[in-house]
Amino acid sequence: MSDLEKSAGLGESLTTTSKTSSPTRAESPVPNGTKAAEAAAGEEDGGPDYERQIHGVKWALTVGTILSCVFLYALDTTVVADIQPDIIASLGDFQKFPWLATAYALPSAALVLIQSKLYGLFDIKWLYFGYVTCFEIGSAISGASPTMNSLIVGRMIAGIGGCGIYVGSLTFFSVATSPKERPIYIALISPTWGLGTVLGPIVGGGFAESPVGWRWGFYINLIIFALAAPILLLILPSIDFSKGQSAKERLNKVDWLGLAVWTGWCVSFFMAITYGGTLFEWDSYSMIILWVFVGVLGIGFYMTHRFHPFITLENRLYPSYMLRNLKLGILQFATFAAASAVYIPIYYLPLYFQFAKGESPVEAAVKLLPFVFMISTVAIINGFFMSKWGYYMPWFFVGSLLAVAGGALMYTVSINTSVSAIYGYSVLLGIGGGCFMITAFGCVSDIVAPKDIFNAIGVISLVQCIGITFFPSLGGSIFQNLGANYISPILPADFTGDPRVILAGASSPEWQGFSDEVQTRLASAIVDAMCNVYTMTIVACGITVLITPLLGVRPRFLTILLVIAC
C-alpha cells in the first residue's frame, strides 16, 4: 500500500464521505468513455470523495489567499517585459538581459517533478508556506539588486518559489476538494494566472514611469505577502500524506541523482534554444558543447530511470510506468500544446501593437485584456460544466481546433491589419486556449489510480511548465533570428549597433532615433518576422486536434489500436 493510500493525514484534515455503493466506472452506461466520471473504464477506481474540513469564511479566505499567491507568481512572470530599458539603464550588462527570463522560467521545468513529489512527502501547509517565503526572498533580492548578476540570482530564487506555489496550489485543490467541486477550483487558477500575466507589463511599466522607479515592480510582492502570511499560517489546513515518517525516511524517497541529471538537461536544453543564433552562433563551440550536454544528459536521465540506482522503482523522479497510460499521455501533450496558444500571444501581441500601431508599452499591454478575458471566462465555464456533467474530450478537441484557426489568422497579419481584426483573432486564440490550458488537472484523477494522483499532477505540471518555457524561448529565437535578418537591409548605413536591440520594443532610444519612413519599413519587417512564431501554435494544436478524439475511446480499444499501430 502506498503512502497516499495510507493517508495518515487524511484522517485529520479530510474526511471520507463516500466509499459506498456507487457503480464502478466499468459498469457505467456512459458511452465512449468521454465522461470524466467514467474516463477510466476498466481501470482502477478513482478513489473516495472527500469532504473539506474548513468551510465558509475560512475556506473563502484560504482560496483567496492561494489564488493571490498564484497571481503574484504570474505577475512576476511578465513584470520585466516593459521595464527592460530602465533595468538596462540602471544596471547595464545588456548582453545578460535574456538571463532574466530564462533564470525565472528554468526552475519551473527543472523542479516541478520533485516539487510535486515533495508535496506528497511533507505537510502541504508548511511546504507551501516555505515556497511562498522563497518567492518573496527572491523578489526582495531582485528589487534591491545593485548589479545584473544579483538581479538574475534574485529572479532564479523567485522562480523556484513561484514554481512551488503553482504546483502547491494545484495539489491543494486536487486533494482538499471533492471530485465534483475540484474542476471549478482548479479552473480558478487559469483566469488568475492570465490576469497576473497580462497585468505584469502594466504594473512594471507603471512603476517604471512613476517616481518610485522599476524596483517597486518587485517590492510590491512583499506587501501582498504581509497580508497573505497570517492566513497561510493560521487557517490553511495541514494535509500530510506521510504522517508518522521521519524526515530521513521521507528524504530517502527523493531521487537526488535523477534530479541532478534532469536539472542539468533542462539548463543545457533551454540555453541552447534560447541563445542559438542570438547570443551564440549556431555553429559556435558554445552551441556545440550545449547540444552535446543535451544529448549526454538525456541519455544519462534515461539510464538513471532504467536502472534507478540509490532509489526504489516507485520513487524514481519521473514515473515512467505512467507512459503506458495513453490517455494521460494525450492529456500531457494537449496541455503542452495549449501553452503555444496562450503564451505566444501574451509575449507578441503587445510587441505587435508597439511596432505596428505606435502604442506605448503600457497601452500595448492593455490591448491584451480581451485575449486574457476570454481565456479566463472560458476556463471558468469549462470548470463549471466539467463539474456538472464531467465530459472533457470535447473541450480539448474544440479548443485545439479554435487555436489552430486563431494561430493561422495571426500568421497572416501585417501592419495594415485593423485593430478590430487583431482583437477577433486573439479572442479566437483565447477561447481555444481557455478550453484546454488547465483542463487536464480537473480530470486526471479520473484516469489514474488514487496512488498515482500526485505523480499525475507532477507530469502534467511538468509538460505545462516545459510548454510555458519552450514556446516563448523557441519563439524568441525565431523572432530574433528572422527579425535581425529582415531589418538589417533596411537599417541606415550609419547604424552600428546590434539589430536585435531594436526588436526589444518601440520605446528604445535606438528606435526613437529613426525617421518615420524608416520606422514604417522596419515595423513591416518586424511584424513579418513576428508572424512566423505562430507556426508553432498551428503545428502543436493541429497535432492535438488529431489525437484528442482518442480520449473518447475505451481502454480495451486503445490497446487494440496500439497493437495495430505497432
pLDDT in tens, 441-497: 777 777 887 777 777 877 888 888 888 888 887 888 888 889 888 998 888 888 877
One-letter amino acid identity for 314? E
Does the pTM surpass 0.85? The reply is: no
Cα gap 171→175, rounded to integer Å: 6
Closest C-alpha to 94, from 510, 524, 523, 530: 510
Whole-number pLDDT of residue 138: 94
Q: Quote the cell numbers at residue 228.
A: 497573505
Q: In the prediction, which pLDDT does 11 show?
A: 36
Q: What is the DSSP string of 386-411?
A: HHHT-B-HHHHHHHHHHHHHHHHHHH
Q: How does pLDDT run across 17-61, given as a tens digit for each residue?
A: 333 333 223 333 333 334 433 333 333 333 344 566 778 899 999
**Stretches in the chain below the pLDDT threshold 70:** 1-52, 81-82, 85, 94-98, 278, 390, 507, 553-566
- Residue showing cell 508553432: 536
Alpha carbon 464 to its chain's center: 5
Residues 6 or more apart whose Cβ sits within 8 Å of residue 192 = 67, 70, 71, 74
Contact criterion met (CB below 8 Å) for 409 and 428: yes
Question: Residue 133: what pLDDT?
Answer: 95
pLDDT at 5: 37
- The predicted pLDDT at position 411 comes to 96
Structural domains in the chain, CATH included, are 1-16+49-254 (1.20.1250.20), 318-566 (1.20.1250.20)
Predicted pLDDT at 45: 39
pLDDT of residue 39: 37
Q: What's the confidence (pLDDT) of residue 432? A: 93
Name residues whose C-beta falls within 8 Å of residue 133's C-beta, 6 or more positions apart in sequence: 161
- Is residue 205 a contact partner of residue 365, using CB atoms and an 8 Å limit? yes
